[in-house]
Homo-oligomer: A and B are copies of this chain.
Amino acid sequence: MAIELKPTEALKLWHDVNLDLVRDGETDLTTRQMTILLTIYLDPPPHTVRGLAKKLAVTKPVITRALDTMGKAGLVTRRRDEADRRNVIIQRTVQGSLYLDRLSDLIIARAHALRP
């Protein structure tokens, strides 16, 4: 059965999850970074810089910079594509998986609490 949300519920869900992210303090991902991270973990690989840039409708440097930042945080890894060394394959990490596990727990809990 489809998920039917009322406008107030939709906004409250968005608010509550964002509030948790802000309060957490740990996280400081841009909307773009968050979208990239989720794309890497939800869409089937392989993931390349130009592929992500096209999907998000942003320029390549945006992807490169986001990968730099998230790579430093251990959320993703880069590897040269040996078949075509121009390409860079973006890979998942254990730490990134754990981060998204926590995120999904958070969303599920907030969605569940919408209707007490």
Chain A interface (Cβ < 8 Å from any Cβ of B): 1-8, 10-15, 17-19, 21-23, 25, 27-32, 34-35, 38-39, 41-42, 55-58, 100-101, 103-105, 107-108, 111-112, 114-115
**Copy number in this complex?**
2
Interface of A is mostly: helix
**Contact of A14 with B112 in the complex, beta carbons under 8 Å:** no
Residue of B15, B38, B115 touching A42 (CB-CB under 8 A):
B15
**Contact of A111 with B5 in the complex, beta carbons under 8 Å:** yes
Chain B's closest residue to A13 (CB) is B107
**Contact of A3 with B38 in the complex, beta carbons under 8 Å:** no
- Given A38-B15, A41-B11, verify A108-B57 contact (CB < 8 Å): no
- Given A3-B114, A57-B23, verify A35-B15 contact (CB < 8 Å): yes
Q: Which residues of chain B are near A22, meaning CB under 8 Å?
A: 31-32, 35, 56-58
Residue of B1, B10, B19, B38 touching A18 (CB-CB under 8 A):
B38
Residue of B6, B14, B34, B105 touching A103 (CB-CB under 8 A):
B14
**How far, in angstroms, from A29 to B22 measured CA to CA in the complex?**
13
